[in-house]
Amino acid sequence: MTPPTLVRCTHTQHASAILDILNHAILTSTALYDYQPRPLASMATWFAAKDQGDFPVIGLEDADGTLLAFGSFGTFRAFPAFKYTVEHSVYVHHAQRGRGLGVQVMQALIAAARQRDLHAMVGAIDASNAASLALHTRLGFEPVGTLPQVGFKFGRWLDLAFYQLLLETPQVPVDG
């Protein structure tokens, strides 16, 4: 079996596959605190924001070019002093979980953050998502806080856990 290939996802090639993964997560899990599936048109805006911010969208494809998993990061908070911090997300197609694909995507995101001289990566994870919490712990992320009952989905209150990885970059951070 050929190992999956890391790719830079584009709107043209991957919007539909990314949307399928996201919409499945919306409908079946608390990985996303959305209620309704997103329309395909929303992906143009999503990719435009990634392009504008120089934020990567990294995927894993099988030998046939099928997207198995993807991840990205973006603005943590829209204030200038947060310029070295990003919030990331990673999603694995529901039929591909348990194969280590999330680890591969996260490692590529961490490398991309270092290349961009970022300092902190933050993951906002539903506190009941044991697999995601374990993934982040395995990669050196540390729990830095939990916001109890900030979401409500599937008839219950949801706690949001924050996990953070501090990077050695940038070498010379600057104000302004």
Please, what is the angle between helix 11-28 and helix 42-52, to 10°?
Answer: 110
Model pLDDT, residue 103: 98
pLDDT given at position 129: 97
Q: What is the pLDDT of residue 2?
A: 87
Whole-number pLDDT of residue 120: 98
Please check the confidence at residue 45 and state whether its pLDDT lies above 90. yes
Summarize the confidence of residues 114-134 as an average pLDDT. Answer: 97
Residue 42: both structure tokens together: 């929303």
Using the structure block, give the residue that is written with the tokens 């104000």: 175
Over residues 63-79, mean pLDDT: 97
Q: What is the mean pLDDT of residues 115-132?
A: 97
Which residue's structure tokens are 């961009």?
Answer: 116
pLDDT of 124 strictly over 90: yes
**pLDDT tens-digit profile of 145-156?**
999 999 999 999
Per the CB < 8 A criterion, the answer to whether 128 and 110 are in contact is no
Cβ(138)–Cβ(130) under 8 Å? no
Q: Say how far apart CA 164 and CA 141 lie, in whole Å.
A: 5
DSSP character string of 152-171: EETTEEEEEEEEEEE-S--S
CATH superfamily of 5-166: Gcn5-related N-acetyltransferase (GNAT) (3.40.630.30)
pLDDT single digits (tens) 47-70: 999 999 999 999 999 999 999 999
Name residue 136's amino acid.
H
4-32 pLDDT, tens per residue? 999 999 999 999 999 999 999 999 999 99
Residue 176 predicted with pLDDT over 90: no
What pLDDT does 135 receive?
97
Task: Measure the CA–CA gap between 159 and 132, rounded to whole angstroms.
Answer: 14
Q: What is the pTM of this model?
A: 0.96
